[in-house]
Amino acid sequence: MPRPKGSVNKITSDVKEKLLNLIDGVYDSISLEQMDINQKIKFLQISLQYIIPKMRSLNIPNEEFDKDKPFIIEIEKSND
């Protein structure tokens, strides 16, 4: 019998909680002072994937996008 719609998957919740605790423990044990610049950059590169959402490409139909037309950006002047 399947779970009711909207109910929490207990196993998934338990696994997520254990992983979070493990990650917190590892993060607390990392000493940034002992890392060289390459290790720090790699650490940022890996961890930012889980913090900042990835950008997605847009699909523009061909009839809306014409390569022969000029690309114009209009900039409004401020009244400062």
Contacts of 40 (CB under 8 A, 6+ apart): 32
Q: Are 3 and 9 in contact (CB under 8 A)?
A: yes
Please, is 67 exposed, middle or buried when counting C-beta atoms within 10 Å of its C-beta (0-12, 13-18, 19+)? Answer: exposed
Please give the mean pLDDT across all residues of the chain. 79
Please give the pLDDT value at position 37.
92
Confidence category of residue 62, pLDDT binned at 50, 70, 90: low
Domain ranges of the chain: 10-48
Q: What is the mean pLDDT of residues 68-76?
A: 76
Rounded CA-CA distance 46/30 in Å is 14
